[in-house]
Amino acid sequence: MAEQGGRRNLDKLVKDGLSALVFGVGYKVGIIEHFIKIKQPCTAQELAQQTGMKERYIQEWLNSMVASGIVKSHADDRFSLPYSDSELKTHGHGATVLPILSAMLPKLEAVLPNNGPRGYGYHGPFLEWWGGYHKPEDIQIWINELLLPVFDLKPSSDFKLLDLGCGYGRYTLMIAKRFPNSTVYGIDPDRKSIDEANMQLQKEALSNVNFLCVPGEQLPQEWTENFDFVILNDVLHDAYAVDGILTEVRRVLKSDGFGAAYDPPVSSYSAKLTDTDIAQLYLPLSLFSCLPMSLSGPYGEGYGVGWGYEKRREKIEKHGFRLVKVGDMDIDVVQERIVFQK
């Protein structure tokens, strides 16, 4: 990442930011979708006709993208977009976060001063954008690669699982569908999320799932020693009341059960963050969303993504859990998953 004797070229950085914004706009308004479908190389007029948009704006968008090296310019004023459909869809969607973060700026500006509010809750369009990364096929891959190895630690088909901080229940429902003999609970303190999850549950008509609107730090009393697995997927770094949540996880896990916390694989130590593109993606998102969310509420500790893998692990151990190595993965390597047992 470093250019010019160990330093970033700031001029290039700002221009690349503008290019990313224009690329994201092209994805959001449908120019890229039409570009994928049209016979390439095409003229600005052909693309304008295909999109139903004004040719002059399409020309300016195309030229911006030519200047940034994304669109290729050919003879006879023709243009092509030399990327695969899946690259364009993944990164086009990614770039649409820029205007969403810009819209969140007034909230961030309000919490920054010492005398400002502590934090703020989720911004709907940001959650929708994040949800766009969790297509059914992505969730299946997540289950195969990151959840099944945890299930292998305690093999049985009729397990009880708690998805703590389930959000809209996308993962909860997929797990329940994949393991019809299991009993799956999803809880979240956010009423809108649980309403969405229940609506989806009605559509899918699964009988082995229950959603409850309760905070993770106040689980039902009758759940003591109840679950074979408790998963916290993208929850701990976002949540307020992390100590309360881990205390409750310890109570509701069976003595031979397993907990698994999944968070962005970012180190707790600044010196380990240079040139790591995962940190470059997640830390800005945390500044705008995870950190203020984890500072909202009366006892938010303010962890965010920057809390990092090593310190999250220490926190889990402080709650009396033993860390469990899964497969060949060394637990000292910064990673997304932390598996633990009472």
Ligand X SMILES: C[S@@+](CC[C@H](N)C(=O)[O-])C[C@H]1O[C@@H](n2cnc3c(N)ncnc32)[C@H](O)[C@@H]1O
In the complex, least distance from residue 188 CB atom to ligand X, rounded to whole angstroms: 5
Nearer to ligand X, 92 or 167 (CB): 167
Given 151, 161, 175, 188, the residue binding ligand X (CB under 6 A) = 188
Candidates 143-151, 187-195, 263-271, 308-316 — which segment interacts with ligand X by CB under 6 A?
187-195
In the complex, least distance from residue 259 CB atom to ligand X, rounded to whole angstroms: 14
Give yes or no for a contact between 219 and 195, defined as CB atoms under 8 angstroms apart. Answer: no
By CB under 6 A, tell whether 217 contacts ligand X: yes
Q: If binding means CB under 6 A, how many residues of this protein chain bind ligand X?
A: 21
Token pair in block for residue 258: 């397993």
Distance of alpha carbon 342 from alpha carbon 334, whole angstroms: 22
Within residues 225-264, the interface with ligand X by CB under 6 A covers 233-235, 238-241, 245
Nearer to ligand X, 44 or 164 (CB): 164
By CB under 6 A, tell whether 190 contacts ligand X: yes
Nearer to ligand X, 43 or 182 (CB): 182
HEC secondary structure over 315-331: HHHHCCCEEECCCCCCC
Give yes or no for a contact between 292 and 120, defined as CB atoms under 8 angstroms apart. Answer: yes
Q: Which residues contact 275 (CB under 8 A, 6 or more apart)?
A: 1, 2
Give yes or no for a contact between 166 and 187, defined as CB atoms under 8 angstroms apart. Answer: yes
SS3 313: helix
Given 216, 264, 292, 304, the residue binding ligand X (CB under 6 A) = 216
Nearer to ligand X, 167 or 257 (CB): 167
Residue among 301, 296, 166, 134 nearest 235 (CA) = 166
C-alpha angle with apex 276: 260 to 279, nearest 5 degrees?
A: 55
Give yes or no for a contact between 207 and 140, defined as CB atoms under 8 angstroms apart. Answer: no
Candidates 33-41, 186-194, 200-208, 317-325 — which segment interacts with ligand X by CB under 6 A?
186-194
By CB under 6 A, tell whether 196 contacts ligand X: no
By CB under 6 A, tell whether 292 contacts ligand X: no
Candidates 54-62, 161-169, 174-182, 311-319 — which segment interacts with ligand X by CB under 6 A?
161-169
In the complex, least distance from residue 20 CB atom to ligand X, rounded to whole angstroms: 23
Q: CA neighbours within 13 Å on the CB side: how many for 128?
A: 7
By CB under 6 A, tell whether 184 contacts ligand X: no
Nearer to ligand X, 99 or 132 (CB): 132
Helices (H) and strands (E) in the chain, counts: 15, 10
Distance of alpha carbon 27 from alpha carbon 34, whole angstroms: 10
Token pair in block for residue 104: 């969140």
Token pair in block for residue 34: 């039409």
Nearer to ligand X, 45 or 218 (CB): 218
In the complex, least distance from residue 47 CB atom to ligand X, rounded to whole angstroms: 36
In eight-state DSSP terms, residue 272 is: G
Nearer to ligand X, 51 or 233 (CB): 233
Residue among 238, 294, 284, 237 nearest 101 (CA) = 284
Instruction: Reply yes or no: is the peptide bond before residue 298 cis, omega within 30 of 0.
Output: no
By CB under 6 A, tell whether 23 contacts ligand X: no
Nearer to ligand X, 47 or 230 (CB): 230
By CB under 6 A, tell whether 215 contacts ligand X: yes
Nearer to ligand X, 34 or 170 (CB): 170
Query: Could you list the residues that contact ligand X (CB under 6 A)?
Result: 164-167, 170-171, 188-190, 193, 215-217, 233-235, 238-241, 245
